[in-house]
Amino acid sequence: MGRTYQHLNCVNIAPTTYELSARGRIFDGLFERANDHSDRDEFDESERLCHLLLDYPDLGDFHKAGCHRIISLGEDNFLWHAQQAVELYENLFTVRPGGSYSGKVPPTQAELDAQQTLLNLAKKCLAQASKDHNDLQVDYKFLHHAFKQKHWRKPTREELIVAHHLRHNKQQVDFVVTFEDRYVECLQPSMEDGDDEDEGSQNAVNDEDDDKLDSDGGDPLPELNYDFDLPTPEASSQPEPSSSQPRPAAVTSRKGKAS
């Protein structure tokens, strides 16, 4: 069972009390791009940018929470990412070890409202992630039991890894097949138009050739008469009839009997 993306319009209201350095502005620009890709349903690129941002140790809590929330809409470790997003949004303006908020400048009311809006979105993602996680656990237990009943053993680690890759590869194959079908459908009308044009131009060329032949003034081509008798095969190419079979009668031509 695959997990479908739960689309939510991303809200990006960055607090102004921190991350005003040049590096922080770069992080904010990358996060904006990740948001834009997510809003356009371009999840692969959005997740790639989010993972890239999370690799930076000095990334602020606001951008960390946003990246975790976007990744929680995907399929890999989505429950953990959803939990991280909720925790970070709840403590966005809390002074704590490892946090990016220093407490020197209190948050404005607009920032508190933005925090609450993003926290509500993160909680929705967490609720959906928890539901999907439970559904996947039920499916996994069912498949695990079916595998054990058939093979009388538990699946090995290698088999689980192969099954995981096959699940992702199937999604890619399905996408490629769908894309090829749509591509052929889009090209079909233009291909038919091209065939019609080629056929029409070929007919026009043939008509021009016929007109040239008629205008040459030469003798017209004789009409071929296909109403004739087939020639008699030569003796060397036809086996002699046996004594039990009657010899066929002589073939007659239009002018008279053959001698």
Choose among 93, 115, 18: nearest CA to 59.
18
CA distances from 67 to 90, 106, 140, 219, 240 (A): 15, 24, 28, 87, 94
Residue-wise pLDDT for 36-78, tens only, equals 998 898 989 999 999 999 999 989 999 999 999 999 998 888 9
Q: What is the pLDDT of residue 116?
A: 93
H/E run at residue 125:
helix 109-151
Phi and psi at 204, nearest 5°, equal -65, -40
Q: CATH second-level architecture of 22-132?
A: Alpha Horseshoe (1.25)
Choose among 11, 3, 79, 13: nearest CA to 43.
3
Residue-wise pLDDT for 178-204, tens only, equals 666 666 677 666 555 555 555 666 666
Q: pTM of the prediction?
A: 0.54
Q: What is the pLDDT of residue 49?
A: 96
CB 133 within 8 A of CB 78: yes
Q: Which residue has the higher pLDDT, 141 or 250?
A: 141
